[in-house]
Amino acid sequence: MLLNREQREQLKQLGSLSTIGLELGLSIALGYLGGRWLDGKLGTEPWLQWIGLGLGLAAGARSLYRVVRRAQRMMEEEDESP
């Protein structure tokens, strides 16, 4: 099954957009768990856990913004091509 150029581009866009949930979830989880681990080491519960959660949310939002911008650029390029 061979795909033409347009179909390959569509699959590329779909692949790019399908990572949104994974990137968002991993960013939040890593931030929270990293803060929780540091709290256990430093005895500062729950402060670093909350800070880690906030940083994870910020990293997830940044990642989401980058994916959306990339998708917008791909759509604009598609509109410009004949």
Confidence of residue 39 (pLDDT cuts 50, 70, 90): very high
Q: Is residue 56 part of a domain?
A: yes
How many domains does the chain divide into?
1
Q: Which pTM was predicted?
A: 0.77
The DSSP secondary-structure symbol of 19 reads T
Q: Is residue 52 part of a domain?
A: yes
Q: Is residue 6 part of a domain?
A: no
Q: Is residue 76 part of a domain?
A: yes
Q: Is the pLDDT of residue 60 over 90?
A: yes
User: Domain span at residue 70?
Assistant: 25-80
Q: Is residue 13 part of a domain?
A: no
pLDDT digits (tens, 9 = 90+) for 13-34: 788 778 888 889 999 999 999 9
Residues of the chain with pLDDT > 70: what percent? 96
What is the rounded CA–CA span in Å between residue 25 and residue 13?
A: 20
